[in-house]
């Protein structure tokens, strides 16, 4: 079973679907069927994987209802379709790897969790960052307790100015209605990492955000509707820069803007006519380009998350403050600095990871696919790093953040438990069931501290009683020494006096 060749169905043969296909075949799996409403995309995937016509489906539903014996299904269709397709796949008895977000409402997320439990199959969410060695190192240090408890976490996501323009201004995730709020669509990864590190549920959530950059009021004077017609020089968002002349070239969006033909000529044609050649200030986007979320967890840890449209790098920057030290890291740079507060230079350590060699998402993509395939081969669905129950909390925080941001003029602090109601109960139940969050609550912390203190006290009292005993012993020793001295002296004296009396007698 360990080396069994697995037969997989891919639903949604776009960018992620084709990437998954390329990774899976390297890991002894075959893409044997594809479902995509776009004929172009179906054909491209079929060509890559030798899929016959009878296994090319126009819809995910048709593929899932076909009764074909797939070992697993990968769902990489648009966000809004995830819930229905995943539910059907589980109902039909398939193991599912589902792209994030798992669903776009709290109720639908919990419905998926219940459907997975009922099916007995696996439902893994593509929170790939948990699999990235960078975050695994941070998790290991955090869990080891070597720096003490976490006090706070700061996480920044720099989406990358051109990536943001590509996906969230011109591309598929530009409108909340057709995809999801950006805090869910993009940043559920980050909210997931925070949840994973803190080991407990949120208590309060607050968020504020704005669409600050990509709106018509910011358009330069005379800006045209399309970059190819635009007289404005040196616009950093000029589509020709990203898709034709970027140095070094950014390859992955080429297939997105022009799937059939990625030649320069075809790309130029795509930006002349397609959505990716539009002026970023004259698009129909409505998602935010900057958002902050503050989360207070029930064990007192506070986390600040910032989503930023910009950045040259497309990276995550993290800073974790502990009781006795700190961690600071940059995902793309592959650098983690660990400081222990001792004042000694040797207690600052730098860990370097060669992220470029590891694959997409800091090495998270190939590792997650491997884990999913291993689970199927081992027929062991109890737990994966990103099973649906593990992934629920991040999504719920995103919903709470949106509620916070959208309430009133200034936003509102959300009491997480109250806002989630029954959903919170379910979340808690699963935390306990899977022991995923050990819950170092304040009460438990106090107890631990008391236990530590009493241990210290008992150690001290033992030490002091030992000292007392020692001092008693030494005192008695001294006394006996003195006595012995006295005895010896008196003996000497008596001997002397005897000798004197003898000599007198002889005289």
Among the listed residues 68, 78, 262, 294, the single contact to ligand NAD using CB under 6 A: 78
User: Segment 166-195, which members bind ligand NAD (CB under 6 A)?
Assistant: 172, 185
Among the listed residues 8, 9, 13, 96, the single contact to ligand NAD using CB under 6 A: 13
How far is the C-alpha of 382 from the C-alpha of 112, rounded, in Å? 16
CB burial of residue 1 (10 Å; 0-12, 13-18, 19+): exposed
Signed CA dihedral, 114, 427, 393, 376: sign only = negative
How far is the C-alpha of 304 from the C-alpha of 155, rounded, in Å? 6
Residue number with CB closer to ligand NAD (147 or 373): 373
60 is an interface residue for ligand NAD by CB under 6 A:
yes
Q: Tell which residue, 154, 192, 389, has the closest CA to residue 292.
A: 154
Torsion, Cα 195 196 197 201, to 10 degrees, reads: 40
CB of 398 to ligand NAD, least distance (A): 13
Give the nearest residue (CB) to ligand NAD.
14
User: Segment 80-109, which members bind ligand NAD (CB under 6 A)?
Assistant: 81, 99-100
Three-state SS for 298-355 is: CCCCEEEEEEECCCCCCEEEEEEEECCEEEEEECCCCEEEEEECCCCHHHEEEEECCH
CB of 76 to ligand NAD, least distance (A): 4
Residue number with CB closer to ligand NAD (150 or 185): 185
- Determine the interface stretch with ligand NAD among 75-83, 110-118, 204-212, 372-380 (rule: CB under 6 A): 75-83
77 is an interface residue for ligand NAD by CB under 6 A:
yes
Among the listed residues 6, 9, 10, 14, the single contact to ligand NAD using CB under 6 A: 14
Q: How many residues bind ligand NAD (CB under 6 A)?
A: 27
How far is the C-alpha of 398 from the C-alpha of 414, rounded, in Å? 12
- Determine the interface stretch with ligand NAD among 32-40, 136-144, 275-283, 328-336 (rule: CB under 6 A): 32-40
Among the listed residues 6, 12, 87, 95, the single contact to ligand NAD using CB under 6 A: 12
Tokens, residue 202: 């949120």
The single-letter DSSP state of residue 294 is: E
Collapsed DSSP state (helix, strand, coil) of residue 145: coil
71 is an interface residue for ligand NAD by CB under 6 A:
no
64 is an interface residue for ligand NAD by CB under 6 A:
no
How far is the C-alpha of 479 from the C-alpha of 489, rounded, in Å? 15
17 is an interface residue for ligand NAD by CB under 6 A:
yes
**In the chain, how long is the greatest CA-to-CA distance?**
144
Residue number with CB closer to ligand NAD (147 or 190): 190
Residue with tokens 């000599």: 503
329 is an interface residue for ligand NAD by CB under 6 A:
no
Residue number with CB closer to ligand NAD (12 or 329): 12
The single-letter DSSP state of residue 197 is: H
Interface positions with ligand NAD (CB under 6 A): 11-17, 35-38, 41, 59-60, 76-79, 81, 99-100, 126, 128, 172, 185, 256, 361
């Amino acid at each position: 079973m360990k080396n069994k060749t697995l037969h997989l169905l891919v639903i949604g043969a776009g960018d992620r679907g084709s990437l998954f296909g390329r990774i899976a075949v390297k890991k002894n799996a075959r893409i044997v069927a594809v479902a995509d409403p776009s004929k172009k995309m179906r054909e491209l995937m079929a060509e890559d994987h030798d899929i016959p016509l009878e296994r090319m489906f126009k819809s995910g539903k048709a593929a899932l209802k076909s009764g074909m014996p797939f070992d697993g299904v990968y769902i990489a269709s648009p966000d809004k379709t995830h819930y229905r397709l995943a539910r059907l796949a589980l109902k039909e008895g398939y193991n599912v790897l589902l792209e994030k977000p798992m669903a776009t409402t709290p109720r639908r997320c919990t419905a998926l969790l219940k459907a997975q439990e009922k099916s007995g199959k696996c439902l893994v969410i593509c929170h790939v960052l948990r699999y990235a060695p960078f975050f695994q190192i941070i998790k290991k240090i955090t869990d080891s307790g070597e720096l003490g408890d976490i006090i706070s976490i700061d996480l920044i996501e720099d989406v990358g100015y051109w990536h943001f323009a590509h996906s969230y201004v011109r591309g598929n995730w530009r409108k909340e209605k057709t995809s999801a709020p950006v805090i869910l669509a993009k940043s559920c990864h980050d909210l997931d990492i925070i949840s994973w590190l803190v080991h407990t549920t949120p208590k309060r959530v607050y968020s504020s955000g704005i669409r600050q950059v990509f709106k018509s009021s910011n358009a330069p004077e005379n800006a045209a509707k399309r970059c190819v017609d635009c007289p404005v020089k040196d616009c950093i968002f000029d589509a020709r820069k990203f898709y034709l002349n970027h140095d070094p070239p950014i390859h992955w969006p080429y297939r997105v803007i022009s799937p059939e033909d990625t030649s320069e000529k075809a790309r130029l044609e795509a930006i002349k006519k397609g959505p990716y050649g539009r002026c970023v200030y004259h698009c129909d986007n409505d998602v935010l380009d900057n958002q902050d979320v503050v989360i207070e967890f029930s064990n007192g840890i506070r986390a600040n998350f910032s989503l930023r449209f910009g950045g040259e790098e497309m990276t995550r920057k993290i800073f974790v403050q502990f009781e006795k030290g700190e961690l600071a890291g940059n995902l793309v740079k592959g650098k983690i600095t660990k400081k222990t507060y001792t004042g000694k230079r040797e207690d600052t350590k730098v860990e370097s990871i060669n992220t470029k060699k590891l694959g997409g998402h800091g090495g998270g993509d190939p590792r997650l696919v491997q884990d999913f395939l291993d689970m199927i081969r081992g027929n062991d669905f109890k737990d994966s790093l990103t099973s649906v129950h593990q992934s629920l909390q991040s999504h719920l925080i995103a919903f709470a953040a949106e509620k916070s941001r959208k309430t009133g003029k200034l936003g509102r602090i959300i009491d997480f438990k109250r806002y989630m109601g029954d959903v919170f109960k379910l979340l808690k139940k699963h935390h306990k069931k899977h022991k995923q969050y050990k819950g170092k609550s304040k009460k438990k912390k106090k107890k631990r501290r008391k236990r530590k203190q009493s241990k210290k006290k008992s150690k001290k009292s033992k030490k002091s009683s030992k000292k007392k005993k020692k001092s008693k012993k030494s005192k008695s020793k001294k006394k006996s020494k003195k006595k012995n001295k006295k005895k010896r002296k008196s003996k000497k004296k008596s001997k002397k006096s005897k000798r004197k009396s003898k000599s007198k007698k002889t005289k």
